C-alpha cells in the first residue's frame, strides 16, 4: 500500500470539456510543475553516450563498458558503477559505425590514466575491441567469465562488499524486474546476484555465503523466481530466515517497478522513466538513477496512469526520460506540467545538440544547460542557461559554430573555486576534426567568458605561433620544436609506408599542421582541470599522420594561460 508522509496541496481545477481524448491516455490535473528532460540519441549507443555525459559531465576517473546487444552484464554492473562513480557505456565492436558514439564520449571525458572496466567475456566485448582500446588507454580490466553467472561473480568480487551487506536476487534470464531494482541497489551498495528460475547456481551461492548478508531481497513473483530460491537461501545461510527474506513483486513488471520504488522510498527530487519492454536505455540509465538516488519507473512507453499518480505523490519534480519517442511516447511527457527539453528537440526554434542539468553555482538550485546549433541556425552554436524549477531563461551566449550541428557541454572546475565552469565544444566540420571551444563561468549576472589570453579573443583563438611549435621534415626524420618551452624531439619515420612510397616515387612532399584543433581537459590536481588543445602534422598526404602536439592551458589571473606543450607521434620519438 502506498504511504506518503507529505502534505498534499489541494488544487481546484476548472473542468474543461474535451472534444477528443486519445483512448490510452489519462488527463491529469496539472497541479505540479516538473522539469522533464529526455535523453535520447539515434540509437542505443548514442542514447547511452548522452546518459553517460549526465552521469559524469566532466572527466571520469572510471568508466564501465558493457555490450549493447544483451542485458546481463550491465545489470550486474549497476552497483559497481555507483561505487566507482562511473558511467555505463553500451558498446559494439570497435570497428563498427556505432563506435563513434562511445569512443567520442571517452575521447572527451577520459584521461589516459582513467580506468576502463569491460563487463563480460570475449563473447560480450571482443578482444579486438580490447586491443583497440589499449592503443589509447593503459588501465583496462576485464570482469568476465564463462557465462553470465561467472561474470556476475567477477563484478561483485571487484566491489569488495562488506560482510553483512544485504543482497538482491533477480532472474538472470529476464531483465524487467532487475531494471526496477538496479538503481536502488546501486544507491545502497547492495550487490545484485542473478539466479535461474528455480535454483541459485553454485558460483553465485558461494559468493552470497561469503558475504553472509543480513537481508535478502528477491525481486519478482514466484513465476520469475520460485519458492525453491527462498528454501535454498535458508538452507545455505544460517543467518537467513523468513523474517529477513523480502520478496517484492507485482502482477506485472510495471506494478513490480512501482512496488520496488515504494518499498525503498527515496527523498530524492528525481525520478527516471524507462521503457520496460526493452533493456538498453535503462541499463545505461541505472548509473544515472543511482547517482541521483532516484527510482527507475518502468512504462510500456504509452500508458503512464498509475506511474504518474505515484510520481505525483512524491516530493520529486525532476523527471528524466530515457530514450527516444520509439521507446517512450511524447504523450508521456505531455502528462507532466512544466518545462520539457529533449536532446534532438528544439529550444528557441533551434535544435538542441546537448543538454545538461546541474547546479553550476553550488547553491542548491538546478540549471538546465542547453546547447543549440545546426545547419538551419546559420551554423551558430548557442549556450542557454535556464532555471530548472520554473523554466525562466537566465542567460544565453554565442559560443561557437558547427557545419553539421555537433557539439557538447563539459562541466569541470577550471578556476578552482569549487563550482564547475561550462566548456562548450563544437565540431566545425570538414575532414580535419577541427573544433571551437568556449569556457564560461556563471555568476549572479549570468555568463562570463574566460578568455584564452590573446588580444581580441574569440571562440577559435586557441592556436599557436611558430615560437610555440614548429617542425622540419628531413627524409626519414620529423623534428619538432618549441622555442618557448625549450623542448624538441625527433621521430623516426622509416616505417611510415605512405611517406616512403612518396619518396621512392620522387613525389614532392609538403608536410603541414593538419588535424585539429581538438579540445579536451586534463587534470591539474585536486579536481581542478585545464584545457588541452591538440593538433596533428601530416606528411605525404592528409591521411599520413606523422606527428602532432598538445598544448596545455590553465587558469591564472582571470584568463587561460599557456602552460606547457607535449609532442606525440604514432612512430618512435627520440
Kindly report, residue by residue over 1-11, the tens digit of the pLDDT: 233 333 333 33
> Model-level pTM greater than 0.75?
yes
Tell me, what's the pLDDT at 430?
Answer: 60
Give me 234's grid cell. 535458508
CB 296 within 8 A of CB 274: yes
Nearest in space to 148 (alpha carbons), one of 210, 203, 80: 203
Averaged pLDDT, 55-68: 94
- Intervals of CATH 2.40.128.460 along the chain: 360-449
Give me 546's grid cell. 606523422
For residue range 262-309, list pLDDT tens digits in order: 999 988 999 999 999 988 898 899 999 999 999 999 999 999 999 999
Identify the residue whose cell numbers are 553500451. 90
Phi, psi of 391 (to 5 degrees): 80, 5
Question: What is the band of 29 on the pLDDT scale with cuts at 50, 70, 90?
Answer: very low
Nearest in space to 570 (alpha carbons), one of 546, 550, 554: 546
For residue range 371-412, list pLDDT tens digits in order: 998 666 678 899 999 999 899 999 999 998 887 778 899 999
**E-state strands within 69-122:** 88-91, 110-119
CB 47 within 8 A of CB 41: yes
pLDDT over threshold 70, residue 25: no
Averaged pLDDT, 243-271: 95
Q: DSSP state, 344?
A: T
Tell me, what's the pLDDT at 13?
Answer: 33
Q: Which has the minimum average pLDDT: 279-283, 414-418, 477-481, 499-503?
A: 279-283
Question: What is the band of 17 on the pLDDT scale with cuts at 50, 70, 90?
Answer: very low
Q: Tell me the average pLDDT of the chain.
A: 88
Question: What is the band of 22 on the pLDDT scale with cuts at 50, 70, 90?
Answer: very low
For residue range 347-376, list pLDDT tens digits in order: 998 899 999 999 988 888 899 999 998 666
Q: What percent of the chain has pLDDT over 90?
A: 72
3-state helix/strand/coil string of 224-239: CCCHHHHHHHHHHCCC
**E-state strands within 510-544:** 512-513, 518-525, 528-538
Tell me, what's the pLDDT at 70?
Answer: 83
Give 138's Cβ-side CA count (13 Å radius): 3
Give me 540's grid cell. 605525404
Tell me, what's the pLDDT at 147?
Answer: 93
Q: Most confidently modeled of 11-15, 18-22, 163-167?
A: 163-167
Question: CA-to-CA distance for 107 and 460, rounded, in angstroms?
Answer: 20
CATH H-level, domain 360-449: superfamily: Periplasmic lysozyme inhibitor of I-type lysozyme (2.40.128.460)
Averaged pLDDT, 529-541: 93
CA angle 206–212–213, rounded 5-degree value: 115
Kindly give the pairing relationship between strand 350-358 and strand 346-347: antiparallel
Tell me, what's the pLDDT at 463?
Answer: 67
Tell me, what's the pLDDT at 375?
Answer: 63
Question: CA-to-CA distance for 218 and 200, rounded, in angstroms?
Answer: 12
Question: CA-to-CA distance for 482 and 328, rounded, in angstroms?
Answer: 54
Question: CA-to-CA distance for 205 and 291, rounded, in angstroms?
Answer: 29
Tell me, what's the pLDDT at 440?
Answer: 94
For residue range 425-476, list pLDDT tens digits in order: 988 866 567 888 999 998 777 899 998 865 444 445 566 789 999 999 988 9
CB 318 within 8 A of CB 37: yes
pLDDT over threshold 50, residue 26: no
CB 92 within 8 A of CB 68: yes
CB 365 within 8 A of CB 359: yes
Question: Within its chain, how far is the Cα of 470 from the centroid?
Answer: 37
Nearest in space to 266 (alpha carbons), one of 289, 288, 294, 285: 294
Q: DSSP state, 546?
A: E
CA distances from 363 to 293, 360, 442, 444 (A): 19, 8, 12, 11
pLDDT over threshold 90, residue 131: yes
Give me 77's grid cell. 554492473
Give 427's Cβ-side CA count (13 Å radius): 15
Cβ-based neighbour number of residue 193 at 10 Å? 25
Kindly give the pairing relationship between strand 518-525 and strand 528-538: antiparallel
Averaged pLDDT, 196-207: 97
Phi, psi of 139 (to 5 degrees): -110, 85
Amino acid at each position: 500500500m502506498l504511504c506518503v508522509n507529505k502534505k498534499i496541496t489541494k488544487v481546484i481545477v476548472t473542468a474543461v470539456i474535451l472534444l477528443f481524448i486519445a483512448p490510452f491516455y489519462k488527463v491529469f490535473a496539472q497541479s505540479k510543475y516538473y522539469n522533464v528532460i529526455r535523453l535520447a540519441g539515434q540509437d542505443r549507443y548514442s542514447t547511452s553516450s548522452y546518459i553517460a555525459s549526465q552521469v559524469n559531465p566532466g572527466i571520469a576517473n572510471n568508466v564501465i563498458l558493457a555490450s549493447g546487444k544483451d542485458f546481463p552484464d550491465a545489470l550486474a554492473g549497476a552497483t559497481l558503477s555507483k561505487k566507482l562513480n562511473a558511467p555505463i557505456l553500451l558498446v559494439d565492436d570497435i570497428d563498427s559505425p556505432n563506435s563513434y558514439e562511445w569512443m567520442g564520449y571517452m575521447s572527451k571525458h577520459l584521461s589516459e590514466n582513467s580506468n576502463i572496466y569491460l563487463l563480460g567475456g570475449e563473447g560480450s566485448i571482443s578482444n579486438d575491441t580490447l586491443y583497440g582500446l589499449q592503443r589509447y588507454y593503459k588501465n583496462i580490466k576485464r570482469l568476465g567469465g564463462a557465462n553470465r553467472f561467472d561474470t556476475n561473480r567477477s563484478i561483485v568480487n571487484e566491489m569488495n562488499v562488506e560482510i553483512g551487506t544485504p543482497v538482491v536476487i533477480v532472474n538472470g534470464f529476464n531483465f524487467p524486474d532487475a531494471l526496477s531494482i538496479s538503481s536502488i541497489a546501486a544507491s545502497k551498495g547492495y550487490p545484485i546476484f542473478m539466479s535461474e528460475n528455480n535454483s541459485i547456481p553454485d558460483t553465485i551461492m558461494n559468493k552470497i555465503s561469503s558475504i553472509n548478508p543480513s537481508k535478502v531481497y528477491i525481486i519478482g513473483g514466484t513465476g520469475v523466481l520460485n519458492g525453491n530460491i527462498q528454501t535454498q537461501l535458508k538452507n545455505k545461510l544460517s543467518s537467513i530466515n523468513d523474517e529477513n527474506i523480502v520478496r517484492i513483486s507485482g502482477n506485472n513488471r510495471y506494478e513490480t517497478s512501482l512496488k520496488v520504488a515504494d518499498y525503498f522510498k527515496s527523498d530524492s527530487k528525481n525520478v527516471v522513466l524507462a521503457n520496460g519492454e526493452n533493456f538498453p536505455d535503462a541499463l545505461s540509465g541505472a548509473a544515472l538513477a543511482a547517482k541521483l538516488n532516484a527510482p527507475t519507473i518502468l512504462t510500456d512507453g504509452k500508458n503512464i496512469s498509475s506511474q504518474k499518480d505515484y510520481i505525483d505523490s512524491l516530493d520529486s519534480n525532476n523527471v528524466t526520460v530515457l530514450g527516444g519517442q520509439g521507446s517512450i511516447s511524447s504523450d508521456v511527457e505531455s502528462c507532466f506540467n512544466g518545462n520539457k527539453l529533449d536532446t534532438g528537440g528544439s529550444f528557441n526554434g533551434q535544435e538542441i545538440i546537448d543538454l545538461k542539468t546541474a547546479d553550476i553555482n553550488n547553491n542548491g538550485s538546478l540549471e538546465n544547460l542547453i546547447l543549440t546549433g545546426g545547419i538551419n541556425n546559420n551554423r551558430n552554436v548557442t549556450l542557454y542557461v535556464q532555471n530548472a524549477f520554473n523554466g525562466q531563461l537566465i542567460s544565453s551566449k554565442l559560443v561557437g559554430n558547427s557545419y553539421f550541428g555537433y557539439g557538447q557541454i563539459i562541466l569541470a572546475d577550471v578556476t578552482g573555486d569549487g563550482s564547475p565552469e561550462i566548456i562548450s565544444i563544437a565540431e566545425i566540420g570538414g575532414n580535419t576534426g577541427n573544433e571551437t571551444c568556449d569556457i564560461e563561468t556563471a555568476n549572479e549576472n549570468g555568463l562570463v567568458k574566460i578568455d584564452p589570453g590573446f588580444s581580441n579573443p574569440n571562440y577559435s583563438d586557441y592556436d599557436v605561433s611558430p615560437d610555440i611549435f614548429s617542425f622540419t621534415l628531413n627524409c626519414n626524420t620529423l623534428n619538432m620544436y618549441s622555442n618557448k618551452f625549450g623542448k624538441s624531439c625527433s621521430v623516426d619515420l622509416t616505417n611510415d609506408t605512405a611517406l616512403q612510397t612518396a619518396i621512392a616515387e620522387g613525389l614532392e612532399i609538403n608536410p603541414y599542421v593538419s588535424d585539429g584543433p581538438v579540445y579536451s581537459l586534463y587534470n591539474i590536481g585536486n579536481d581542478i582541470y585545464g584545457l588541452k588543445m591538440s593538433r596533428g602534422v601530416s606528411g605525404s598526404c592528409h591521411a599520413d599522420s606523422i606527428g602532432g602536439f598538445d598544448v596545455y592551458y590553465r587558469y591564472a589571473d582571470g584568463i587561460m594561460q599557456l602552460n606547457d606543450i607535449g609532442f606525440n607521434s604514432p612512430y618512435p620519438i627520440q
